[in-house]
Structure 1
Amino acid sequence: MKLSSFRLAIALLAQLVAPVVSQNSTYYNPVLPGWHSDPSCIQHNGTFYCVISTFISFPGLPIYASKDLLQWKMIGHVRTRESQLPGYSWNTNGQQHGMYAATIRENNGTFYVICEYLNVPDKKPGVLFKTTNPYDETTWSNPVFFDAPKIDPDLFWDDDGKVYVSTHSVVIQEFDLDTGKTGPAINIWNGTGGVWPEGPHIYKKDGWYYLLIAEGGTATDHAVTIARAKKVTGPYTGYERNPILTNRKTQEYFQTVGHADLFQDAGGNWWGMCLATRSGPQWKSYPMGRETALFPVTWDKDQWPVLQPVRGEMSGWQLPAPSRDVPGNGPWNVDPDVYDFKAGQPIPRNLIYWRIPRDGAITATDNGLQLVLARNSLSGYPNGGQNGATRAISFIGRRQTNTLFTYSVDLTFSPKANNQEAGVTAFLTQQANLQLGLVQLDNQLSFRFNATGKISTSTVPAAWAGQPIRLQIQMANPNTYTFAAMLASDAKTKTVLGTASAESLSGGSGSFVGTLLGVYATCNGAGSGLDCPSGTPNAYFQRWRYTGAAQYISATQTVPATVDMAKSEV
């Protein structure tokens, strides 16, 4: 009888406890689809914040905010004005130089983003930006400059108030947040033997200092490893089961998994963000480049963290409740673009340039988005420097954020001289891009399709002259870009004018970045200096639309392009 009563009590207790037990949530990766390299993330007062690498694109270092880890709003950029880094942009040659692998941290109400600007001559590479209001991008400070002989700086506050910066290889130095002065560099770990031990982040937990790094390069051997010590300056001892996160030597669809950052949600659960490439082990077709994936972390007291392997479909801690209660004016990363430009309106925050544009080159007007034709083409001709043009091109675009999508704009443009051109582009770098342009050739209005130097032309129908023409880029399968044109007033006139393999926008000159979809305008070298001849007409783009159709989460499985990537099981 006593045993039966005990069992009954246990059963009743289980019923009382069961409703409050958290169940797992299932969700889909990537949570930040599209080109989002090298994520660094924190949680502050129930909101998550992430920063990603932007290299030479501008504005630089976008800040994303989220309440639920799945829906991410671009609330602004850290680098928004030339005066923050005067002379840097146009003196940067390489297509993948510039703003590398930033870290975001918060301390006593101030947000910090620390970064290295790579490969600009005669300039200090280390930069630290500050704000107390990340929702107002104008409040990000001019940088505190510091010498940074290594890349991928991290910030860490120790219990005694000292601040440290650690960089790849891996070295640590005391750091003055106000002056940029650094102390002696101390080598604290060399990783497990993989090339390029980089992307360090330090965390203190249960009296241990944990050092998380990426190593193995940025290709399919990429991995995350970890070490720990009782002092921040070491010596650090590596985990015997390293790497703690990787997809190398697997057949997984998500490859190049690495460069992770760890953080807790408001309930104390640990999570991590890392970069990954949806390419499969062949690593040939991945036009969106390195994207951001979310993974749950189990981290018991005095133990090494356990990081769940990155897959397209994930199951882990109960996610925060879905919410779009995030301040700021920026767009949500997975939402469609529906832009009808008007004079005086700001350029939408998810549209970016390749280097800082010339003043007045791209403007919202009542006639649409006005692009002043540049003498440089997208490739940088005729003013290209080493590895591409170091002067402005007339281009603006948005990240491709879906495996399958449709992007279109309506173009009003009346060229007056041969080789005056405006159109749409799928753009990886100045050495790898696809273009469909409206251009005058031999005094004839024509379409020109340029697949990275492979050019085909066709005459514009006479009945289309003087009318807005809709130019479209579409991916109906994950391997092929399709370019088409039609009268803006009549979709039945649609004509396919070119196709190209997604492999042409994967890797090569853009292995660190990802495809942008946008518009361009050029006079293809006519004129002098940076200017086209006097009297060159402007191009006007109206009705900018981008709509995602589906995401691939494996080589064969898709999910719809919905407002979030969650599949609730709570």
Structure 2
Amino acid sequence: MRLSPISLLVTALAVATKPCQAQNSTYYNPVLPGWHSDPSCTQVNGTFFCATSTFIAFPGIPIYASKDLVNWKFISHAWNRETQLPGISWNTWGQQDGMYAPTLRYHDNEFYLICEYLGQSDGTIGVVFKTADPFDDASWSDPVIFRPEKIDPDLFWDDDGKVYAATQGIILQELNLETGELSQPPISLWNGTGGVWPEGPHIYKKDGWYWLLIAEGGTATDHAITIARARNITGPYEAYENNPILTNRGTAEYFQTVGHGDLFQDPAGNWWGMCLATRSGPAFQVFPMGREASLFPVTWNEGEWPVLEPVRGNMSGWALPPASRDIPGDGAFVSDPDAYDFSAEKGPAAIPKHFLHWRVPRDGTFAATADGLRIVPSRNNLTGTPESNTDGVMAGRLGLAFVGRRQTDTLFTFSVDVSAFAPTTPGQEAGISVFLTQLNHIDLAIVKLHDPAKEEAGATKLSFRMRAIGTVAAPEPVLVEVPKAWLDAPIRLEIRAETPMEYTLAAMPASDPGARIVIGKASAALVSGGAGNFVGSLVGAYATCNGLGSGLDCPEGGVAHFTRWRYNGDAQYISATERVPSKRSA
């Protein structure tokens, strides 16, 4: 068994069978670093399971498993094949439409995942996926469809066998899990304490009470968790006089936007919670990883209101379960590095399961081959024209030719080797990106361009090009001609975050990293908020012909192959001034 450095820092002073006997342990937040918003969690037979939102990204709704609440392994996606919701992704316009706020529950030996897909012309689509084996993508069912009026569905089984969905508002309806039928009219339960957008409800039954946990105050720095209770599921609900029970609003804490949480128990009977938070500080200006998932202890004595410990970077609470990475499946632990080699020598590996696309990609765009990770270029580049309602191709609605993984560390180095790229037409490019949305990204590419320095018509050259679009003013594009000595051999492209505020983009021969050239630098504020205030940055590779060609297809040439893919976390900031080493490095 190999444990990460942070896991070894966890001080499990004692594990007791009763919460009152447990001594405290320490750990660092976020336990699910990188973009992991709206977490919902449950515990089954000593293993913890959590799901988070993915909005427009595909595959969608990741499921993570952990034995110790610190080491979390990706095990599957509930929405993992286009046939589960045929045509839906390509009919989605908004940058933050898609899968919103799942609830994960376990009932009668099956896992249920309820969620809602936003952004369709005929309204919101409610979905319920289920599986008896969450470690297997293929086992997740096609969804039962329902048609809710509001977002953020909860799923609750009462003692009499009735099944309920509570949604934003906060309203309650019975839900038929076979047909998707919702009872009418919805029953209004509670509208919170006066904060905007009462949403994200979860219902628990404990000590003869129905407890209603919600988020309110919006998803920015006023975000909070509040609670009410009733003797009957339909109410009337009594609000807790000391609400909100969890928030960092009005504070100078590094972790902001605290809210949208879920509560669950460990095998020893201790209560815990998971919620979203943003490592931004109160300025709320630079937060490229977006909304991450943080763990907090909960004291919930019989008949009393629960007490939720404030979310901080350095946490103390109940004794954690024994440290363990004994989780089935071939997915990656969320804090592990990437060290993938797509080549004949190393064996053509499959595309790793934790990699993501922006919308469902076109068939044939990506493949792990003996020549490398092949990306067939898309006509739209990473920006395209997402506001266009006339051309789904150029808007990127048919998928970008981009594949990435979450940025999961404050400081990190990401690099790929471009092993084969033979553009034939000016405008074809292949490169890497820090990608938040189509309106927030920072790119470094090898691109074929006209050469104005040469007199002959049609003269071209290969150049490195850095360009960006984002929330703040972007730097001017930078062009650097690829040194002739670097041609005809793999070229390594690199993105490095040496501070929380800035990315450095560089290039080098794969065979001589010492010849590294810094192409440019860009502020992390470019990929913070803006069109992506609900999501977080991905780092990955792409190919495009920048609008050349016609229909769906680019001109001949421009297919890119990437071989060596590395992501190494260097450090996590747990406050504005404190950092700890990332868990592992390759």
Instruction: Tell which deviates more after alignment, 473-482 or 376-385.
Output: 376-385
Q: What residue in structure 2 maps to residue 346 of structure 1?
A: 350
Instruction: Indicate the SS of the match to 1:503.
Output: helix
Q: Supply the distance in 2 between the matched residues of 1:519 and 1:385 (Cα, whole angstroms).
A: 27
The superposition leaves residues 169-197 of structure 1 with CA deviations (integer Å, 9 ceiling, x where unpaired) of: 00001111111111121000000000000
Q: What residue in structure 1 maps to residue 226 of structure 2?
A: 225
The answer for unaligned runs of 5 or more in structure 2 is 1-16, 451-459
2:531 is aligned with 1:509? yes
Instruction: Indicate the SS of the match to 1:504.
Output: helix
2:444 is aligned with 1:436? yes
Q: What residue in structure 2 maps to residue 500 of structure 1?
A: 522
Q: Supply the distance in 2 between the matched residues of 1:383 and 1:512 (Cα, whole angstroms).
A: 18
Q: What residue in structure 1 maps to residue 462 of structure 2?
A: 445
Give 1:389's aligned amino acid: G
Q: Supply the distance in 2 between the matched residues of 1:450 and 1:219 (Cα, whole angstroms).
A: 28
Contact 1:220–1:256 (Cα < 8 Å) also in 2: yes
Aligned mate of 1:524, from 546, 557, 566: 546
The superposition leaves residues 178-234 of structure 1 with CA deviations (integer Å, 9 ceiling, x where unpaired) of: 111111210000000000000000000000000000000000000000000000111
Contact 1:172–1:187 (Cα < 8 Å) also in 2: yes
Q: What residue in structure 2 maps to residue 246 of structure 1?
A: 247
Give 1:539's aligned amino acid: A
The superposition leaves residues 49-69 of structure 1 with CA deviations (integer Å, 9 ceiling, x where unpaired) of: 000000010000000000000
Instruction: Indicate the SS of the match to 1:389.
Output: coil
Q: Supply the distance in 1 between the matched residues of 2:561 and 2:532 (Cα, whole angstroms).
A: 29
Give 2:145's aligned amino acid: F
The answer for unaligned runs of 5 or more in structure 1 is 1-16, 565-570
Q: What residue in structure 1 maps to residue 148 of structure 2?
A: 148
Give 1:366's aligned amino acid: A
Instruction: Indicate the SS of the match to 1:27.
Output: strand
Going from structure 1 to structure 2, the CA distance change for 1:384 and 1:408 (only over 3 Å counts) comes to farther
Structure 1 residue 346: Cα displacement: 2.3
The superposition leaves residues 346-391 of structure 1 with CA deviations (integer Å, 9 ceiling, x where unpaired) of: 2101110000110010100111100001111001259954895322
Q: What residue in structure 1 maps to residue 455 of structure 2?
A: none
Structure 1 residue 425: Cα displacement: 0.3
Aligned residue pairs total: 546
Instruction: Indicate the SS of the match to 2:515.
Output: strand
The superposition leaves residues 101-133 of structure 1 with CA deviations (integer Å, 9 ceiling, x where unpaired) of: 000000010100000001112365110001111
Q: Supply the distance in 1 between the matched residues of 2:413 and 2:381 (Cα, whole angstroms).
A: 25
Instruction: Indicate the SS of the match to 1:138.
Output: helix
Going from structure 1 to structure 2, the CA distance change for 1:220 and 1:123 (only over 3 Å counts) comes to closer
Give 1:392's aligned amino acid: G
Q: What residue in structure 1 maps to residue 8 of structure 2?
A: none
Structure 1 residue 344: Cα displacement: 5.8
Q: What residue in structure 1 maps to residue 364 of structure 2?
A: 360
Normalising to structure 1: TM-score of the pair?
A: 0.94
Q: What residue in structure 1 maps to residue 415 of structure 2?
A: 408
Q: Supply the distance in 2 between the matched residues of 1:462 and 1:370 (Cα, whole angstroms).
A: 24
Q: What residue in structure 2 maps to residue 395 of structure 1?
A: 402
Q: What residue in structure 1 maps to residue 109 of structure 2?
A: 109
Structure 1 residue 466: Cα displacement: 1.2
Q: What residue in structure 2 maps to residue 293 of structure 1?
A: 294
Instruction: Tell which deviates more after alignment, 68-77 or 413-422.
Output: 413-422
Aligned mate of 1:545, from 540, 551, 566: 566
Contact 1:376–1:382 (Cα < 8 Å) also in 2: no
Going from structure 1 to structure 2, the CA distance change for 1:437 and 1:48 (only over 3 Å counts) comes to same
Going from structure 1 to structure 2, the CA distance change for 1:124 and 1:240 (only over 3 Å counts) comes to closer
Q: Supply the distance in 1 between the matched residues of 2:400 and 2:275 (Cα, whole angstroms).
A: 32
Instruction: Indicate the SS of the match to 1:486.
Output: strand
Structure 1 residue 21: Cα displacement: 4.5
Q: Supply the distance in 1 between the matched residues of 2:214 and 2:322 (Cα, whole angstroms).
A: 31
Structure 1 residue 451: Cα displacement: 1.8
Q: What residue in structure 2 maps to residue 467 of structure 1?
A: 489
Q: Supply the distance in 1 between the matched residues of 2:527 and 2:386 (Cα, whole angstroms).
A: 23
Instruction: Indicate the SS of the match to 1:154.
Output: coil
Contact 1:382–1:525 (Cα < 8 Å) also in 2: no
Q: What residue in structure 2 maps to residue 201 of structure 1?
A: 202
Percent identity for Structure 1 against Structure 2? 61
2:311 is aligned with 1:330? no
Instruction: Tell which deviates more after alignment, 372-381 or 154-163.
Output: 372-381
Q: Supply the distance in 2 between the matched residues of 1:384 and 1:31 (Cα, whole angstroms).
A: 38
Aligned mate of 2:510, from 481, 488, 505: 488
Q: Supply the distance in 2 between the matched residues of 1:205 and 1:299 (Cα, whole angstroms).
A: 10
Q: Supply the distance in 2 between the matched residues of 1:536 and 1:381 (Cα, whole angstroms).
A: 23
Structure 1 residue 537: Cα displacement: 3.2
2:478 is aligned with 1:456? yes
Q: What residue in structure 1 maps to residue 5 of structure 2?
A: none
Contact 2:90–2:359 (Cα < 8 Å) also in 1: yes
Contact 2:51–2:104 (Cα < 8 Å) also in 1: yes
The superposition leaves residues 66-87 of structure 1 with CA deviations (integer Å, 9 ceiling, x where unpaired) of: 0000000000100111110111
Normalising to structure 2: TM-score of the pair?
A: 0.91
Q: What residue in structure 2 maps to residue 4 of structure 1?
A: none
